[in-house]
Amino acid sequence: MTYNFAAILPELILVFGEPVLMLTASTMGARATRLTTWGTVALLLAATLAALFTTEPGTAGPLFGGLMSADPFAVYGKVLIYLSGAVAIIAADRWFGDDVLHGPEYPVLILLATVGMSVMVSATNLVTLYVGLELNSLAAYILASYRRTDARSAEAGLKYFVLGGLASGILLYGISLVYGFTATTDFSGIAVAFGRDEPLGIGLLFGLVFTMAGLAFKISAVPFHMWTPDVYEGAPTPVTTFFASAPKIAAVLLAARVCFEAMGPAVDAWRQIVVFAALASIFLGAIAAYGQTNIKRLLAYSSINNIGFVLIGLAAGTPAGASAMLFYMAIYTVMTLGAFLVVLSLKNAQGEPLEAIADLKGLSQTRPGMAAALAIFMFSLAGIPPLFGFWPKLLVFNAAVEAGLVALAVAGIVGTVVGAFYYLKVIKIMYFDEREQELATSCGPLEPIFIAIFALIVSPLGYLLIGPLGDWSATAAGALF
């Protein structure tokens, strides 16, 4: 058994730092809010550096008897998760301000969720997978209902908890079936069992279906998407910003590792499920967003729609498909964080956080910089060239065509056209509708910097990243095959 503690240094930094911050919070009370906020950001940045520079090639896994791995795939996910979490925490600090409900435990909860996500992307065993996923989920339930005197936040937390518990039960049932028919929880052993049974036995097939269903809930794929719009709308906007980025990355990478490493030999069986979920997510996410009046609900359906495109790369079942998935998640995270940061930075005429799409009318006249940034993010999410959001879509479509899934790629292209409408609607409201009220900005010194950086990344200048990000994605994807 290999005990390479250097390979899990990022997790150790977070795990040992969390009790220190929690004790600080319990000792100092509300005065510790700013301290725990920046302490958590420092820990996440330290963990990012540890992930990038302490993992030695060839010694990264499997670790601890096959429970987890610190391979390039896990490192890729950890870096995206840690940085997304840090941005979400910084944005929340200003948004909550001096709210009496904002306590020092908020960043610590995000830190706990981040530890769970870190374990998720590193898991090479069903037990580790479930432990990491539940650690993330339990913290997420609390975060969704963080504003306990707000009925919408309480409702969001309750819905998330009930449906999340149901999904966890489905996943656990699938895991138990897989274990029962393979006699192992290790991904490599499961892969051997799936490769040995031809055709696939009914027990393993049911285990595969239930496991995929549980994972589909975590990535908000149709038909297990029903929680997403309600939770995104009801949760505090900084929490929604976090939900739309880091947990999405962790869940997608976890699903990819399970499919490619544990169930790789059964690709023909799980590909049917993934193709259905991809098409359903693309078209439902696009069509259901048409009538939305709340910007957070619209972005929730946008996340469902984009997950459909990511699943096209998964359906390809090839290294190129896996690489396209990773590339897509990196750019999607930048686009989504940028859009939410703009929303977080605006308040309506009553001084309340902006949520209604109608409140954006005439934004280009009063806040031209914010309007331009949001337009860039909307165009990029729609996949309209020459913005950088076009390139990840092209990669997943190309991977599908190379895998012989031409019809799936064509359907995805049609879905892109259908989904462009609601992104363009937001831009039309900002630039062509008459201003009805004066919008105020409420952001710290760092938020405009983040928005500007993210806008530059998804602008045509982002094509300069194709080489380095593409190479990094390909290296990370190669660890799965």
Bridge partners of 183?
none
pLDDT along the chain (481 residues), means of 10: 71 89 79 83 92 65 78 90 91 67 80 92 90 90 83 85 89 91 88 78 87 89 86 86 90 91 85 91 88 87 92 90 93 91 78 78 82 90 88 92 90 89 87 72 76 89 86 88 80
Distance CA 196, CA 429 (A): 57
Distance CA 467, CA 345 (A): 33
For the CA atoms of 21, 252, 219, 416, the dihedral, rounded to the nearest 10 degrees, stands at 130
DSSP 460: G
- Give kind and range of the element (H or E) at residue 346: strand 346-347
Give the Å distances, CA to CA, from 107 to 81, 132, 235, 428, 457.
Answer: 14, 18, 15, 36, 27
CA 450 from chain centre, in angstroms, equals 18
Distance CA 280, CA 224 (A): 11
Q: With both helix axes pointing from N to C terminus, report the angle between 105-122 and 72-96 in degrees, rounded to the nearest 10.
A: 160
For the chain, how many residues are written? 481
Give the Å distances, CA to CA, from 210 to 163, 213, 479.
Answer: 15, 5, 26
What pLDDT was estimated at residue 56?
A: 56
Give the Å distances, CA to CA, from 20 to 40, 88, 97, 316.
Answer: 10, 21, 23, 45
For the chain, give percent helix, strand, coil, nearest 5. 75, 0, 20
Residue ranges covered by each domain of the chain: 1-262, 277-481
pTM, whole model, 2 decimals?
Answer: 0.91
Q: In the structure encoding, which two tokens stand for residue 67, read together?
A: 């429970």
What pLDDT was estimated at residue 43?
A: 92
What pLDDT was estimated at residue 58?
A: 47
SS3 197: coil
Residues contacting residue 44 through CB under 8 Å, at least 6 positions apart:
14, 82, 83, 85, 86, 89, 111, 114
Q: In the structure encoding, which two tokens stand for residue 284, read together?
A: 């439902």
Phi, psi of 91 (to 5 degrees): -65, -35
For the chain, report the end-to-end CA distance as a whole number of angstroms: 22
